[in-house]
């Protein structure tokens, strides 16, 4: 068997609407509604399905926990513009810019770390 790519993952959050607002405004993701009141964040050819704590859909994680994911997104936007945009949106940098090793090897540009 061979896995080709990641289709989606599920992110458990405390507040769906606040999460949607952040990912749409700050990171420019498209909001997709589907099924019976379900929401997802779409970007590129991936999506992040959102589950609100206590209102999860089956199947779900064994122990859904908000704030437990550590996600790294790649952008072609120059780092200085990313940092400026984050500052405009009042999103503080937690760390960085720092060098990291990504799925394809070293990440060439420095990446800022933010808490979502």
Q: Would you give the DSSP letter of residue 59?
A: S
Strand partners, 105: 102
| Confidence (pLDDT) at 110 | 53
pLDDT in tens, 52-84: 999 999 899 999 999 898 888 888 888 889 889
CATH architecture of 8-112: Roll (3.10)
The alpha-carbon radius of gyration of the chain (Å, integer) is: 15
Q: Would you call 34 helix, strand, or coil by DSSP?
A: strand
As a whole-number percent, the residues of the chain with pLDDT over 90 amount to 53
| Confidence (pLDDT) at 73 | 85
Residues of the chain with pLDDT under 70: 108-116
| Confidence (pLDDT) at 102 | 82
Predicted model pTM: 0.84
Backbone angles phi, psi at 43, to 5 degrees: -155, 145
Q: Would you call 84 helix, strand, or coil by DSSP?
A: helix
């Amino acid at each position: 068997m061979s896995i080709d790519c990641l289709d989606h993952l599920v992110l458990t959050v405390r507040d769906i609407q606040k999460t949607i607002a952040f990912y749409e405004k700050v990171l420019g993701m498209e909001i997709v509604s589907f099924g019976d009141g379900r929401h997802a964040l779409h970007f590129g050819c991936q999506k992040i399905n959102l589950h609100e704590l206590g209102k999860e859909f089956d199947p779900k994680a064994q122990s859904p926990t908000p704030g437990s994911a550590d996600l790294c997104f790649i952008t072609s936007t120059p780092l200085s513009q990313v940092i400026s945009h984050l500052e405009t949106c009042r999103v503080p940098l937690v760390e960085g810019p720092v060098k990291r090793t990504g799925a394809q090897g070293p990440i060439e540009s420095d990446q800022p770390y933010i808490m979502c």
